[in-house]
Structure 1
Amino acid sequence: MATERPRDSRHEEIEAIVETKAGGVTETRDEADKYTVVGAARRRTFANWLTPIEEHFVCHRNDIPDIDADAWSVALTGQVEGDLSLADIREAYPTVAVAHTMECAGNGRGQHRPETGSVQWGFEAAATAFWTGTPVSSILREFGVESPDGKWLTAIGGDPADGDDVFARSIPLSKALDDCILAYEMNGEPLPREHGYPVRLIVPGWYGVNNVKWVEELRVMNSMVVEDSLDRDGEHAYWQQTAYRMHPEGVDPDSNETIETVDTWAQLEGAVEYPYTFDATVMSVIGTPSGDEPVPVRGDDTIEVRGVAWAGDDAVDRVEVSTDGGETWSDAELFGPEYSGAWRLFRYEWNAEPGAYELLSRATDDLGRRQPATISGPDAWRDALDDEFPWNEGGYAANAYEPNAVTVELLDADDPSSAE
């Protein structure tokens, strides 16, 4: 299949991105040579609410397109008809900013045993930024779209693929009209090339694959994208109907024109036979202490364990921290900014003594769904949902907490030998 061929140019792109981001990211292993992938270089990235652009992960399959911003436009097609220049998008509609925790649907893939897929992410493919742009609802309503009425919005990227293939993703029109934007700024700066310049779709709380970069077409349809559903040559549906779907090994999932349930976890529980990756599952990561170096402590000292937790379209209700490898758990405090679709900060004051410790965090969303402990073996599939995340052939949507443990060494600050 053309969409799965190795891509030599990814190495040059990665080198340029790592240099631009000044050491805030590092390359992630992709032995199949298909994707440009860099992730946060340090665990400490996950101790802060806002992720600097320099530390924000990057993932895309095709080459970054050559951009002439003055000539770039976004076509409106399907059940609407129009064409928007970048000036139209910026000046003719309201400007808003949304906070969004972007997470690659393959985050945690490298924690599967046996390994699956090509990009071996740990937990480094997640970040929160402010995105500035134009509400999709403002655009579509001007063109006569008032009700979602079971429809879908398909976004098509202008990144060059093999032959005439396209990168196309569909989301329910109801989500698009609710909170999605066409973004042209990131953290108050012009959108960087690797993050979708000149314009990308932002789908708050949903996995990165839905946040199409380099948008050149928005198509209102009665269905998700399926093969031959676009007015163009090439393959249309691979990234919607084949890739980024969860299933056991050796399964070739059938295409669906529509599904009733888009909540990713509800799909896993049986609402959809082979689930699509839409909203992110509940997840947490400890940012500090990072385990990179020993931490000195005195008798009465406490150590702040700090991190981030997120739950896609849902809210984080609770975060627990364990300092003994999961034997016991204590509630952490949620604090800081609280935006729909963005992560929360958590902290736990740890009365610690010198020694070696394994720290874990687990989050629970407002529907009572808690991070599972581990990733299952390949044969478990949905039987794993009790306290395991189902191993799936693509390695998608993993949110187990044990693989994200951090080992910390605490030294007695009053012991002279600890400084040697």
Structure 2
Amino acid sequence: MVAERPRDSRHEEIDAILDERDGSVTETRDDADKYTVVGAAHRRTFANWLTPVEEHFVCHRNDIPSIDEEAWTVSLTGQVEGSVSVADLEESYPTVAVAHTMECAGNGRGQHRPETGSVQWEFEAAATALWTGTPVRSILREHGIESPDGRWLTAIGGDPSDGDDIFARSIPLSKALEDCLLAYEMNGDPLPREHGYPVRLIVPGWYGVNSVKWVEELVIMDEMVTEGALDRPGKHASWQQESYRIHPEGVEPDAQATIDEVDTWAQLEGDVSYPYTFDANVMSLIGAPDGESPVPFDRDGITVRGVAWAGDDAVDYVDVSTDGGETWDEAELFGPDYDGAWRLFRYDWDVEPGTHVLFSRATDELGRRQPVSISDPDAWNEVLENDEYPWNEGGYAANAYEPNGVEVTILEGDDE
């Protein structure tokens, strides 16, 4: 497994981000004291479609590299040869903007009982931004790559490790040619340093670990990255074959050269032993009311608002419960509807004074619905049938709805 040694510089990075964003994000507990991690400070972030950069979560393990944009290039290697500069990306290729809901694969790790290690995210590591850049297919086709042919694209980050492991992630070349881009802008502004400046891979609808920051090399390969697969020193496969795999406690998954099924939920259903975290599982969050303070009674009712997403798949519908899961009503989906980005939902609540527990649960177009809770560690094979999400050693890809509920107090009419 990847070594998790404390990194003093993470505190400097976090302090700088917190100071710049002035209360829009908050530091998240990191048991390894290794990652730079901040997440949305308030639930109301999830009542809006577009996430401001100031509220967007940040997560990376290594230090931000020293960057000279004019000298930075992305090398093309493996079954292709060449390179592109940042200026090439901005001036010599088509420019597109993609709406993408990015969720850390560890989002919800802090809801596992007993706790797993590392970053103790609750629900704050998800956000939707507009990413502007160059389609990966435009670059690869100019260099002779026209079809996927079952191959893989491995992206390598330029962030320096304090060990010998290289941050490398592989995705199917079919996905790269379909909708991925090398981004250099975020919400219309230059890419911030902590989000991968000067260039970041964006993999729409997939967990954030696949959207490699500070990209310095793209490798076309017949297989996923495995140990020794790259033409460079160091350990190559940690972030593909060891970390970000879903498995019970005490298991060390075997490296696989290739897999046919990349849908994370389908892998969980048995198509792949110890799934890889690729596309995001169906998920939803209530953003308002946020439960941070009591809400005055309104005889006309209160609108519950939130967001729902499902990776490569579309959200079919969202149910809302205002009585702790006893009864459910369907919410209305509205607002922008883009592949790979979350949908807004709203529900008109005929409210009564008192304290209420609100839940939301989304169902995707394939009929897959958020489970109720996270299982015990000793349960594994049968948990999906029991409406549970499997507790796993890395705490990855959790999407249970009960841990994300919000308690709301509605005041009597004359209460202050």
- The sequence identity of aligned pairs, in percent, is 77
Residue 165 (structure 1) shift? 2.5
Aligned residue in 1 for 2:306: 307
Residue matched to 1:132: 132
8 Å CA contact retained: 1:151, 1:222: yes
Does structure 2 conserve the Cα–Cα contact (< 8 Å) formed by 1:322 and 1:330?
yes
In 2, the alpha carbon distance for the partners of 1:89 and 1:167 equals: 22
Task: Describe the superposition over 1:308-328 as per-residue Cα deviations: whole angstroms up to 9, x where unpaired.
Answer: 000000000010000000000
1:9-88 matched pairs, under 5 angstroms: 9-88=9-88
Query: In structure 1, how many angstroms separate the alpha carbons of the residues matched to 2:272 and 2:183?
Result: 31
1:364/1:370 contact within 8 Å kept: yes
Deviations 1:338-390 (A, max 9, x none): 00000000000000011110000000000000000000000111211120000
Q: Structure 2 vs 1, CA of residues 408 and 2 (structure 1 numbering), >3 Å: closer, same or farther?
A: closer
Aligned residue for 1:117, secondary structure, equals coil
Structure 1 segments of 4 or more deviating over 3 A? Answer: none
- Cα distance in 2 for residues equivalent to 1:183 and 1:242: 27
The code of the aligned residue for 1:179 comes to D
Q: Which residue of 2 aligns with 1:332?
A: 331
Q: Which residue of 2 aligns with 1:169?
A: 169
- The alpha-carbon deviation at position 15 of structure 1 amounts to 0.6
Equivalent residue runs for 1:102-251 within 5 Å:
102-251=102-251
Residue 321 of structure 1 is matched in structure 2 by: 320
Is the 1:3–1:161 Cα contact (8 Å) retained in structure 2?
A: no
Code of the residue aligned with 2:120 in structure 1: it is: Q
Q: Aligned pair 1:367/2:366, yes or no?
A: yes
Q: Is the Cα contact below 8 Å between 1:39 and 1:124 reproduced in 2?
A: yes
SS of the equivalent of 2:16 reads: helix
Distance 2:186 2:61 in 1: 21
* CA distance in 2: counterparts of 1:196 and 1:7, whole angstroms: 19
Task: Name the counterpart of 1:294.
Answer: 294
Cα displacement string for residues 56-98 of structure 1 (whole angstroms, at most 9, x for unaligned residues): 0000010011111111000000000001111111111100000
Q: Which residue of 2 aligns with 1:397?
A: 397
Residue 368 of structure 2 aligns to a residue whose secondary structure is coil
SS in 2 for 1:4: coil
Contact between 2:165 and 2:238, CA under 8 Å: does it hold in 1? no
Any gaps of 5 or more consecutive residues in structure 1?
A: none
Give the TM-score, by structure 2 length: 0.99
How many Å separate the matches in 2 of 1:311 and 1:196? 24
Q: Is the 8 A contact 1:75 1:218 kept in 2?
A: yes
TM-score by length of 1: 0.98
SS in 1 for 2:296: strand
Q: What residue ranges of structure 2 are gaps of 5+ in the alignment?
A: none
1:306–1:346 CA contact under 8 A, matched in 2? yes
- Which of 302-311 and 158-167 deviates more? 158-167
1:117-156 superposed Cα distances (whole Å, 9 cap, x missing partner): 2100000000000000000000000000011000000000
Change in Cα spacing, 1:2 to 1:104, as seen in structure 2 (3 Å) is: closer
Paired AA for residue 13 in structure 2: E
- Output the CA distance in 2 between the equivalents of 1:338 and 1:60: 29
Q: Aligned in 2, Cα 1:308/1:380: closer, same or farther, shift over 3 Å?
A: same
Give the aligned residue type for 1:364.
T
Q: Distance in 2 between matches of 1:288 and 1:6?
A: 37
CA RMSD of aligned residues (A): 0.8
What residue identity is the alignment partner of 1:182? L
Secondary structure in 1 matching 2:411: strand
Q: 1:5 to 1:100 in 2, by over 3 A?
A: same
| Match of residue 260 from structure 1 | 260
State the shift of 1:164 in Å. Answer: 3.9
Deviation at 1:2, TM superposition (A): 6.0
Contact kept in structure 1, 2:206 and 2:280, CA below 8 Å = yes
